[in-house]
């Protein structure tokens, strides 16, 4: 921990130095610096522009040496020393505070904090800056917390329409990638260290040659691009090289949606749904709560429209017809699993039913659904699956048009602004790549620039991109990691993290955000804007380039506007304007896809790692995936029945054969999965992609071909014997008739508002009387009493809270082997139970005692976020022999790490099992990333904690939240209700001599939650939001009969089934 | 072998007098050549020493890496560490029980085995003591469990059963040590007076503290000894009761059972006597003490094992009964988990080892078949270990919230730690046999006097040697 | 004046006889406690039990006081909402400390009352006395006994048919 303190202190001292005030009262950490000499040197210099840190001014020998080294950070991180890294960090304070000297073509730039202006940076007080995180081309507004120049946490920007202050897992975890020791750090030429200058020399020469042919041999491959600046730059490039071609490839992009809209409207349109108005939603294999660019907003609106406020049960209804399990399916009131090949048939039938044609009989009662849709004309919507065939999108467009669904159509803004018609847009999806591959194979490509994406890894197998790109004499890769594709390129250019660059980006609804950096690049990265300008021969700083895009738009007084935009994190009124397009409402279904025999397969992006771009992110890798609760692996998801037919069990090693490719994978039984369908998450099986990604899971891309990017059939699965141990964090999936998650239909709710379901009668008063302990030990009347409610009616199980907790509380990544042993450190876990819709059938199900092995065709899936519930009569406290866990006057169950000797008795005695123990020195080691050999099942003896991966620690330490102790080995830890946030607020309130206002303290999990399922506050105040929630009839205390009096209580979940269907 | 009537059967067989007792017992120590070189003592010492080194290696690695080298996890935060602790403590109970309780009950037959059993107690408690210390995540601050004034201003938290353990175990160790040493003083004096070598005279003289067997000394000695016995009796019962509180006081399903204290104590005696027999049978054969530790002793110890075994078995039945009686879903789930979960084999072999097999001891014939008794004792020791396995990790694997159920797998280090302590125990026992009077000489003489009166006194002639050799 | 006997009964009888003969300062030595010897010598001493009792008392008080002081006065904490004075939970430690102190009392008391350790004592000079810890029994009549007379006492002891009678300088 002392190291930890140092790493946070170092920047402080440097920051004190960079702003020349408070130099005297700063307790100087580098005595060798002669401050007077420095002042003398400073005299007459124009501060910001000429010096980077005090060492430079003082010309200390080591700083000279550091300067002398032309590329100080280009050494492999293995032998990089902490001081030099920290110097860079110190220099980054220039940005945060006063001056920014950012390398040779970056002059001073001003960025604007979100809440408090840094006239004088207060050491120990974080600053918050608004910026935007871009995922697969679409933006989410971010508020980034910065401690002394270190970005330490990413939260949602409340002013941003895409997430309204919420955050998804990728967004929050991206901060870890900033400090990823495995990220690309310097320019590589054929794997050798090189420099930007050399690269520019080479590429400018190449492009000069290209000029002659108008750039016929110049190809640019990107992912989805919504950044207006980048689009403009590419267009400029295309003006310079009229015959160059720009290709776009997203392994899991919006291409089916685009094609479908193209089909339905003949225009490049994108649908934007307004769930706040919707009463009936039908999802045709859509995971709109998680997988869409607008998901965070959709989830919020959708839940708002079904939220139950004290007994008011007016709520919307969600039908889901899906080809795998998803959290949207888990939230739905009616769910059917269908084969991918049936999806189009269902869509057509639904369309037919809505438009009055006689519906064909199928497994799904489309007529009933259609009646419900039509009955709610104008407040009903059908959402097609992101990866459903274009026809399904077209069908849904037609249905939505006919029922006047609240869907606004906007022109696709991933097409550059200037261009108006679709065919000018670069073809997305596989077609886009196809043209490139053909050109490559035809040897028409001289200069190939791959900016983003990792085609060698994730291109369709039949393109054989690796071989194809070898035909291009010049292969340039601009990327964040030196990955599979970089290995095939002769130049690798290190990309910047979005916290290191100026840029702009657009959200799902087109709203533009300016991306402002919070630190200078840790390594030699340059933003894509800078790179494109540089190779085009007109180098300019990223800031200038981005500003030039917007100077025109702002009108007068650009600088003021600019500051406002940065401050707000969004540029007002930039949302795409809806267009009215005549739908070809008469939809004629194409011939339904036919099942080519064998099992059907369903390619999905991993809920955390997406297409693999985040697969080296330990937080995302280790947090259990929604519903399946699997970590560190992808698995072949199959229904219990399918598994029985194949005679395999979970963790059996199976061989998947599809289109000539053969892949070994672990089988995994997932109730709710449609029979005969195997779902495969992409993003695993990486090679030389970093210490986290390596060895995790298997690669599905070899089986994925351009003809069947998302759905395919003809999969052969056969068991090859042996096990593939999978680190899954939940082995029991039934509530076994216990009163854990309360759930009921609206009728049951009307009957018994408490939704209590278990057989035994439960009498609160009786239970309270049984408690022999005094209600109060110390008088705490005038002190706030903290409490929390979690509304399981609102929880969609998206994991945002869990990752937020990891980020806020310095929770370490422990690695697959430790998770397999049951030692994951997540303070907040999301329990998932399979149950059935109503009490009667639950009883039936329970009586034949269903385990995961037994088939349940279509269970209801419920989520229960579970962290320390801060019992008033905590069982963990009296059993601690050293009083290391005791109660605070504010009702917090406190854990005093320094006092803990690690007997672990508290964990044993915790009925909720929410305590976590540092069995090894997790916090500053990464053996967890060592790839252990699991071929013989679980390792007999855990791996040593010391491993070659230690080098990354110093870098990763800069991520630590200085307000939260980093726990050493041998101590217990658990959720603290974010006590550091409570303290900060309490101190502020005390200073201002007032009480803490309700809602002033927001815990990390609460902050991230897109649906406001978590409410935290003072339960002693009857008017606080949390008190109101606790008065809700659905409110109950988990395991109340154990006399623990938890401060966190849960609110039961209500479903709204359609009588016509459920009977 | 004909049936023996345990009441008429003599406690000391053969033609004995005071001198031969000294010779037989003291000679083991003072006449090495005859008693050790030709015996496999060195072999067992070697085994013990080897395992002891395994223990040291494990501890070193443990301190370097952290207890993550074991298989413990959440929810199973206690496993082998606490199993072994409870197991050893249990074994440590026979000694004091035999010495103290049987002394109070004036059970003469205890005299020939109590010294031996007391030594076992002390060594077993030493082994046990290792675990509470080393199972903590940060052993270097384990001393915080002792109430001493410190600059942190912090005190231990006396509501915790672990604190009770600290006091119970340390008290138990101290008292057992005193009891043992006190019993040794007169024997040290005897050895001092028998010692031929100068060194021997000095060492034994120091240990003997100038004991000269005056009537006044004997008077106070017996008072104190009897009182110590009186104190040890409730102590020995309290120790395992308190150990059982670690579980009974908690709210873990399968732990919070009121039957724990009595059946833990019974189990302790059960295991303790098994261990005494495990050692006594070979040793008496080895050193030719068949006439000091007679078949009658074996017979009675077997009977006690049978009796306590029945109590333990009853405890198992009650546990299952309570699960139904309480009707708590968690308890029922746990019972189901025990009887047909993945670790069901442990539960059923527990029933076999502790419940079924000991029933063989009903037959007097079996009680005198030494190999059989020895094997039963071995089986019981294993069974008692299983009992703790069933109680500790297997209960923890199931929880109130099914979502937090997780499996537990031990690692190699778990086993090396366990067998290492067995090595430590064996090593110390061997040293004890080699350097200490294994049987209480003065009490044997007392007994001899009671049994044979005047004819126990030796003729001035050199006493005859007892026959050596095994069964 | 020390007489050596082979049989415990003899030495018992001898002790009785000596006492009847009016000797006060008698001491007997035996390899094991001879029951009835104290009575024969008319020797009674109850101090050790009292020491043990006081030890136990101290232990009980200290054990309880310690817990009470910590839990209620010195560092009161809200531990799982349990009352500060949770008596049932204070029993085990109180009990254990009682036993501990009492046992200490018994051991130390015994040694102290017997003035042990005491490396040297004149009686060790008696010929053949090393067998006093093995298989011989000795009866000593000390010189500063009022009734002691070198020759009479020797005669008297020899009258008790011992193995041997020796005079040992004290």
The DSSP output letter for A408 is E
User: Which residues on B lie below 8 Å from C28 (Cβ)?
Assistant: 214-215
Give the span between the Cα atoms of A180 and A182, in whole angstroms.
5
Q: Residue ranges per domain, chain A?
A: 3-79, 123-179+496-522+540-591, 187-253+417-495, 255-411, 600-728, 743-775+785-849+857-1055
B157 and A883 within 8 Å at the Cβ level: the answer is yes
A912 and B400 within 8 Å at the Cβ level: the answer is yes
User: Which residues on B lie below 8 Å from C15 (Cβ)?
Assistant: 215
Q: Quote the minimal CA–CA distance from B132 to chain A in Å.
A: 8
CATH fit for domain A600-728, picks 1.10.3470.10, 3.90.110.10, 3.40.50.80, 2.40.40.20: 2.40.40.20
Q: How many CB atoms lie within 10 A of CB A40?
A: 11
For residues C22 and C60, membership in a common domain is answered with: no
Q: Quote the minimal CA–CA distance from B58 to chain A in Å.
A: 12
C107 and B221 within 8 Å at the Cβ level: the answer is no
SS3 B119: helix
Instruction: Tell me the range of A392-396, A719-723, A911-915, B263-267 where mean pLDDT is highest.
Output: A911-915
Residue C120 covered by a domain: no
B210 and C118 within 8 Å at the Cβ level: the answer is yes
Cβ atoms A456, A481 nearer than 8 A: no
Residue C121 covered by a domain: no
User: Which residues on A lie below 8 Å from B72 (Cβ)?
Assistant: 904, 919
Q: Quote the minimal CA–CA distance from A527 to chain B in Å.
A: 43
Strand order in the sheet with A1035-1036: A1014-1018, A786-791, A1048-1051, A1035-1036
Mean pLDDT, residues A410-436 taken together: 66
Taking phi over 0 as left and psi of -120 to 50 as alpha, with beta for the rest, A539 belongs to beta
A886 and C77 within 8 Å at the Cβ level: the answer is yes
CB pairs under 8 A between A and B: 179
User: Which residues on C lie below 8 Å from B224 (Cβ)?
Assistant: 48, 52, 106-107, 109-110
SS3 A690: coil
Q: Quick one: tokens of B176?
A: 């057992």
Judged against a pLDDT cut of 80, whether residue A590 lies above it is answered with no
pLDDT of residue A667: 93
Q: Quote the minimal CA–CA distance from C169 to chain B in Å.
A: 17
| % residues pLDDT > 70 (chain C) | 99
Packing angle, helices A390-402 and A255-265, rounded to 10: 50
Q: Quote the minimal CA–CA distance from C77 to chain A in Å.
A: 7
Q: Quote the minimal CA–CA distance from B142 to chain A in Å.
A: 6
Neighbours of chain A (3+ CB pairs under 8 A): B, C
Judged against a pLDDT cut of 60, whether residue C37 lies above it is answered with yes
Judged against a pLDDT cut of 50, whether residue A50 lies above it is answered with no
User: Which residues on B lie below 8 Å from C90 (Cβ)?
Assistant: 158
A879 and B159 within 8 Å at the Cβ level: the answer is yes
Give the span between the Cα atoms of A567 and A553, in whole angstroms.
17
CA atoms in the 13 A half-sphere facing the CB of A816: 26
Q: Which CATH architecture has domain A187-253+417-495?
A: 3-Layer(aba) Sandwich (3.40)
Contacts of B410 (CB under 8 A, 6+ apart): B70, B71, B79, B80
Cβ atoms C167, C123 nearer than 8 A: no
Q: How confident is the model at residue A759 (pLDDT cuts 50, 70, 90)?
A: low
Cβ atoms A7, A954 nearer than 8 A: yes
Mean pLDDT, residues A452-457 taken together: 88
Q: Is C78 on the interface with A (CB under 8 A)?
A: yes
pLDDT of residue C151: 81
Nearest CB to A901 within list B144, B250, B405: B144
SS3 A270: strand
Greater confidence, A1059 or B177? Answer: B177
CB pairs under 8 A between A and C: 43
Q: Is B174 on the interface with C (CB under 8 A)?
A: yes
Q: Tens digits of per-residue pLDDT, B238-262?
A: 998 999 999 999 999 888 888 888 8
For residues C37 and C51, membership in a common domain is answered with: no
The CATH number of the domain covering residues in A123-179+496-522+540-591: 3.30.200.210
Q: Quote the minimal CA–CA distance from B53 to chain C in Å.
A: 33
Q: Quick one: tokens of A825?
A: 């450190």
Residue in chain C closest to B176 (alpha carbons) equals: C103
Mean pLDDT, residues C12-16 taken together: 83
For residue A358, which phi and psi values (nearest 5 degrees)?
A: -70, 120
Q: Is C89 on the interface with A (CB under 8 A)?
A: yes
Q: Is B212 on the interface with C (CB under 8 A)?
A: yes
Judged against a pLDDT cut of 80, whether residue A506 lies above it is answered with yes
Contacts of A201 (CB under 8 A, 6+ apart): none
For residue A382, which phi and psi values (nearest 5 degrees)?
A: -115, 125
Number of structural domains in chain C: 2
pLDDT of residue A417: 58
The fold of the A255-411 domain, in CATH, is Dimethylsulfoxide Reductase; domain 2 (3.40.228)
Cβ atoms A750, A313 nearer than 8 A: yes
Judged against a pLDDT cut of 50, whether residue A22 lies above it is answered with no
What are the angstrom distances between the C-alpha of B169 and each of A883, A1053, B86, B166, B432? Answer: 20, 51, 11, 6, 22
B224 and C8 within 8 Å at the Cβ level: the answer is no
pLDDT of residue B464: 38
Q: Which B-chain residues 128-167 have CB contacts (< 8 A) with chain A? A: 135-138, 141-142, 144-145, 152, 154-157, 159-163, 166
User: Which residues on C lie below 8 Å from A783 (Cβ)?
Assistant: none
Q: How confident is the model at residue A103 (pLDDT cuts 50, 70, 90)?
A: very low
Mean pLDDT, residues A1007-1012 taken together: 92
Residue in chain C closest to B233 (alpha carbons) equals: C99
Q: Does domain A743-775+785-849+857-1055 have CATH number 3.20.20.70?
A: no
Mean pLDDT, residues A130-134 taken together: 92
For residue A248, which phi and psi values (nearest 5 degrees)?
A: -125, 130
Nearest CB to A881 within list B69, B71, B162: B162
Q: Tens digits of per-residue pLDDT, A313-322?
A: 678 899 999 9
Average pLDDT, whole number, for chain A? 81
Mutation target vs A (from C70, C76, C78, C85; most A CBs, 10 A cutoff) = C78
Residue A625, Cα to own-chain centre: how many angstroms? 11
Judged against a pLDDT cut of 70, whether residue A472 lies above it is answered with yes
What ipTM is given for this predicted complex? 0.89
Judged against a pLDDT cut of 80, whether residue A730 lies above it is answered with yes
Q: Quote the minimal CA–CA distance from B270 to chain A in Å.
A: 27
Q: Tens digits of per-residue pLDDT, A235-250?
A: 888 888 888 888 888 8
Mean pLDDT, residues A295-311 taken together: 86
Judged against a pLDDT cut of 80, whether residue A156 lies above it is answered with yes
Judged against a pLDDT cut of 50, whether residue B292 lies above it is answered with yes
Judged against a pLDDT cut of 70, whether residue B154 lies above it is answered with yes
Nearest CB to A886 within list C79, C83, C84: C79
Q: How confident is the model at residue B27 (pLDDT cuts 50, 70, 90)?
A: low
pLDDT of residue A537: 85
Q: Residue ranges per domain, chain B?
A: 18-145+160-457
Mutation target vs C (from A771, A774, A777; most C CBs, 10 A cutoff) = A777
Residue C148 covered by a domain: yes
Please report, to the nearest 10 degrees, the dihedral formed by the alpha carbons of residues A721, A724, A725, A730 taken in order. Answer: -90
Mean pLDDT, residues A941-950 taken together: 45
User: Top-level CATH class of B18-145+160-457?
Assistant: mainly alpha
| Structural domain of C108 | 47-113
Q: How confident is the model at residue B33 (pLDDT cuts 50, 70, 90)?
A: low
For residue A566, which phi and psi values (nearest 5 degrees)?
A: -60, -40
Q: Tens digits of per-residue pLDDT, C80-127?
A: 888 888 888 889 999 999 999 999 999 988 888 888 788 788 788 777
């Amino acid at each position: 921990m002392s190291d930890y303190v140092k790493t946070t202190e170092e920047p402080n001292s440097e920051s004190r130095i960079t702003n020349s005030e408070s130099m005297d009262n700063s307790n100087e950490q580098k005595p060798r610096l002669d401050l007077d000499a420095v002042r003398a040197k400073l005299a007459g210099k124009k501060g910001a522009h000429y010096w980077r840190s005090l060492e430079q001014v003082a010309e200390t020998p080591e700083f000279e040496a550091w300067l002398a080294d032309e590329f100080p950070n280009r050494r492999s991180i293995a032998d990089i020393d902490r001081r030099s890294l920290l110097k860079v960090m110190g220099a980054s304070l220039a940005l945060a505070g006063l001056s920014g000297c950012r390398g040779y073509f970056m002059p001073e730039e001003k960025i604007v904090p979100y809440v408090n202006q840094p006239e004088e940076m207060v050491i120990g007080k974080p600053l918050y800056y608004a910026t935007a995180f871009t995922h697969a081309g679409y933006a989410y507004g971010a508020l980034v917390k910065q401690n002394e120049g270190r970005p330490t946490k990413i939260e949602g920007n409340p002013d941003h329409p895409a997430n309204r202050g919420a955050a998804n897992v990728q967004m929050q975890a991206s901060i870890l990638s900033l400090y990823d020791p495995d990220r690309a750090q310097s320019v590589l030429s054929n794997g050798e260290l090189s420099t930007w200058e050399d690269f520019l020399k080479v590429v400018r020469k190449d492009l000069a040659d290209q000029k002659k042919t108008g750039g016929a041999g110049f190809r640019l491959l990107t992912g989805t691009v919504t950044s207006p600046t980048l689009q403009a730059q590419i267009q400029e490039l295309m003006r310079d090289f009229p015959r160059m071609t720009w290709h776009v490839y997203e392994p899991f992009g919006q291409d089916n949606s685009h094609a479908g809209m193209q089909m339905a409207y003949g225009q490049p349109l994108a649908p934007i749904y307004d769930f706040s108005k919707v009463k009936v939603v039908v999802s045709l294999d859509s995971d709109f709560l998680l997988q869409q660019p607008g998901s965070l907003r959709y989830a919020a609106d959708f839940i708002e429209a079904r939220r139950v406020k004290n007994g008011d049960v007016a709520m919307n209804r969600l039908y889901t017809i899906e080809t795998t399990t998803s959290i949207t399916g888990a939230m739905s009131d009616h769910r059917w699993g269908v084969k991918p090949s049936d999806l189009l048939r269902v869509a057509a039938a639904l369309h037919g039913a809505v438009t009055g044609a006689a519906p064909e009989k199928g497994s799904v009662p489309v007529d009933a659904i259609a009646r419900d849709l039509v009955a709610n004309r104008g407040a009903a919507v059908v959402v097609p699956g992101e990866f459903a065939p274009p026809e399904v999108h077209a069908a849904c467009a037609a249905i939505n048009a006919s029922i006047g669904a609240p869907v606004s159509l906007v022109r696709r803004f991933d097409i550059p602004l200037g261009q108006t018609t679709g065919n000018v847009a670069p073809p997305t999806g596989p077609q886009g790549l196809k043209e490139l591959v053909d050109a490559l194979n035809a040897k028409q490509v001289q200069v190939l620039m791959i900016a983003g994406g990792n085609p060698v890894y994730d291109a369709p197998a039949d393109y054989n991109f690796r071989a194809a790109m070898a035909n291009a004499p010049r292969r340039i890769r601009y990327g964040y990691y030196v990955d599979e594709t970089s290995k095939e390129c002769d130049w690798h250019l290190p990309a910047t993290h979005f916290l290191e660059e100026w840029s702009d980006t657009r959200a799902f609804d087109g709203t533009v955000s300016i991306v402002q950096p919070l630190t200078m690049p840790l390594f030699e990265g340059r933003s894509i804007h800078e790179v494109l300008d540089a190779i085009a021969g007109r180098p300019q700083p990223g800031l200038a380039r981005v500003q030039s895009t917007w100077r025109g738009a702002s009108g007068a007084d650009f600088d003021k506007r600019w500051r406002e935009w940065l401050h707000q994190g969004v540029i007002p009124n930039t949302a795409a304007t809806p267009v009215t397009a005549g739908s070809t409402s008469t939809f004629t279904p194409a011939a339904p896809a036919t099942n080519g025999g064998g099992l059907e397969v369903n390619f999905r992006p991993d809920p955390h790692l997406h297409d693999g771009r985040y697969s080296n992110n330990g937080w995302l890798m280790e947090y259990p995936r929604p519903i399946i609760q699997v970590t560190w692996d992808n698995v072949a998801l199959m229904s219990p029945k399918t598994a029985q037919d194949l005679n395999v069990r979970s963790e059996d090693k199976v061989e998947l054969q599809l289109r000539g490719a053969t892949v070994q994978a672990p089988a995994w039984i997932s109730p709710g999965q449609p029979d005969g369908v195997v779902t495969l998450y992409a993003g695993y099986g990486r090679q030389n992609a970093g210490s986290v990604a390596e060895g995790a899971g298997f690669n599905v891309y070899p089986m994925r071909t351009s003809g069947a990017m998302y759905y395919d059939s003809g999969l052969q699965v056969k068991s090859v014997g042996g096990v593939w141990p999978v680190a899954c964090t939940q082995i029991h999936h039934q509530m076994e008739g216990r009163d854990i998650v309360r759930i009921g239909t609206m009728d049951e709710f009307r009957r018994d508002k408490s939704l209590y379901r278990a057989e035994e009668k439960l009498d609160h008063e009786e239970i309270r009387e049984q408690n022999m302990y005094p209600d109060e030990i110390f008088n705490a009347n005038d002190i706030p009493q903290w409490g929390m409610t979690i509304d399981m009616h609102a929880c969609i199980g998206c994991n945002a809270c869990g990752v937020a907790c990891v980020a806020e509380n310095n929770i370490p990544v422990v690695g697959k082997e430790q998770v397999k042993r049951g030692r994951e450190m997540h303070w907040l876990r999301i329990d998932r139970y399979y149950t059935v819709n109503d009490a009667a059938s639950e009883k039936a199900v329970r009586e034949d005692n269903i385990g995961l092995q037994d088939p349940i065709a279509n269970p209801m899936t419920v989520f229960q976020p579970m962290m320390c519930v801060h019992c008033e009569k905590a069982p963990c406290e009296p059993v601690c022999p050293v009083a290391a866990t005791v109660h605070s006057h504010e009702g917090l169950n406190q854990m005093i790490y320094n006092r803990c000797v690690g007997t672990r008795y508290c964990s044993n005695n915790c009925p909720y099992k929410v305590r976590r123990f540092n069995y090894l020195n997790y916090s500053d080691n990464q053996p967890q990333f060592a790839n252990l050999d699991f071929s013989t099942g679980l390792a007999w003896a855990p791996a040593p904690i010391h491993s070659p991966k230690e080098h990354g620690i110093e870098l990763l330490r800069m991520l630590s939240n200085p307000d939260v102790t980093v726990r050493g080995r041998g101590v217990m830890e658990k959720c603290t209700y974010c006590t550091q946030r409570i303290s900060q607020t309490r101190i502020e309130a005390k200073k201002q001599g007032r009480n803490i206002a309700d809602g002033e303290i927001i815990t990390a999990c609460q902050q991230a939650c897109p649906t406001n399922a978590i409410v935290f506050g003072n339960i002693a105040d009857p008017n606080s939001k949390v008190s109101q929630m606790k008065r809700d009839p659905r409110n109950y205390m988990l395991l109340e009969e154990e006399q623990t009096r938890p401060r966190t209580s849960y609110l039961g979940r209500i479903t709204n089934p359609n009588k016509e269907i459920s009977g | 072998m004909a049936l023996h009537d345990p009441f008429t059967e003599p406690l000391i067989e053969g033609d004995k007098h005071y001198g031969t007792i000294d010779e037989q017992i003291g000679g083991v120590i003072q006449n090495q050549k005859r008693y050790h070189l030709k015996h496999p003592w060195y072999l067992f010492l070697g085994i013990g020493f080897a395992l002891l080194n395994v223990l040291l290696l494990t501890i070193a690695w443990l301190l370097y890496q952290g207890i993550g080298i074991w298989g413990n996890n959440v929810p199973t935060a206690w496993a082998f560490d606490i199993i072994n602790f409870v197991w050893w403590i249990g074994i440590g109970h026979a000694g004091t029980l035999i010495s103290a309780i049987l002394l109070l009950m004036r059970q003469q037959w205890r005299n020939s085995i109590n010294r031996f059993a007391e030594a076992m107690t002390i060594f077993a408690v030493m082994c046990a003591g290792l675990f509470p210390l080393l199972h903590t995540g940060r052993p270097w601050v384990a001393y915080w469990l002792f109430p001493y004034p410190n600059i942190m201003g912090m005190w231990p938290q006396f509501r915790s059963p672990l604190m009770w353990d600290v006091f119970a175990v340390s008290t138990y160790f101290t008292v057992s040590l005193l009891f043992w040493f006190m019993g040794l003083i007169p024997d040290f004096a005897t050895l001092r007076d028998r010692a031929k070598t100068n060194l021997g005279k000095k060492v034994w003289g120091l240990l003997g503290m100038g004991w000269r067997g005056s009537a006044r000394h004997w008077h106070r000695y017996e008072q104190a000894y009897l009182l110590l016995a009186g104190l040890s009796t409730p102590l020995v019962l309290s120790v395992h009761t308190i150990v059982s509180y670690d579980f009974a006081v908690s709210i873990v399903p399968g732990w919070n059972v009121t039957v724990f204290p009595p059946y833990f104590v019974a189990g302790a005696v059960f295991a303790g006597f098994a261990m005494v027999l495990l050692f006594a049978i070979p040793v008496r054969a080895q050193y030719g003490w068949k006439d000091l530790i007679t078949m009658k002793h074996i017979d009675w110890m077997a009977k006690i094992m049978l009796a306590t075994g029945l109590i333990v078995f009853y405890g198992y039945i009650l546990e299952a009964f309570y699960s139904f009686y309480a009707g708590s879903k968690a308890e029922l789930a746990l019972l189901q988990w025990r009887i047909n979960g993945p670790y069901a084999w442990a539960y059923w072999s527990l029933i076999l080892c502790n419940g079924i097999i000991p029933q063989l001891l009903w037959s007097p014939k079996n009680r005198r078949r030494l190999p059989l008794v020895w094997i039963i004792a071995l089986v019981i020791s294993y069974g008692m270990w299983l009992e703790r396995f069933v109680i500790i990790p297997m209960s923890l694997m199931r929880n109130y919230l099914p979502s937090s159920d997780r499996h537990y797998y031990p690692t190699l280090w778990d086993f090396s730690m366990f067998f290492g302590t067995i090595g430590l125990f064996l090593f110390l026992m061997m040293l004890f046999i080699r350097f200490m009077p294994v049987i209480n000489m003065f009490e044997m003489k007392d007994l001899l006097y009671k049994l044979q009166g005047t004819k126990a006194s030796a003729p001035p002639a050199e006493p005859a040697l007892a026959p050596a050799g095994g069964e | 004046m020390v007489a050596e006997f082979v049989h415990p009964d003899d030495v018992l009888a001898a002790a009785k006889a000596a006492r009847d003969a009016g000797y006060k300062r008698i001491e007997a030595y035996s390899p094991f406690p001879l029951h009835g010897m104290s009575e024969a010598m008319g020797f009674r001493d109850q101090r050790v039990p009292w020491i043990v009792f006081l030890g136990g008392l101290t232990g009980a008080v200290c054990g309880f006081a310690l817990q009470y002081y910590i839990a209620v006065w010195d560092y009161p904490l809200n531990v799982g909402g349990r009352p500060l004075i949770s008596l049932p939970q204070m029993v085990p430690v109180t009990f254990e400390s009682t036993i501990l102190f009492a046992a200490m009392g018994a051991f130390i008391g015994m040694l102290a009352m017997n003035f042990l350790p005491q490396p040297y004592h004149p009686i060790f000079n008696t010929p053949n006395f090393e067998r006093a810890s093995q298989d011989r029994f000795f009866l000593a009549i000390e010189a500063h006994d009022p009734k002691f007379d070198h020759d009479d006492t020797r005669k008297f002891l020899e009258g008790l048919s011992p193995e041997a009678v020796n005079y040992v300088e004290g």
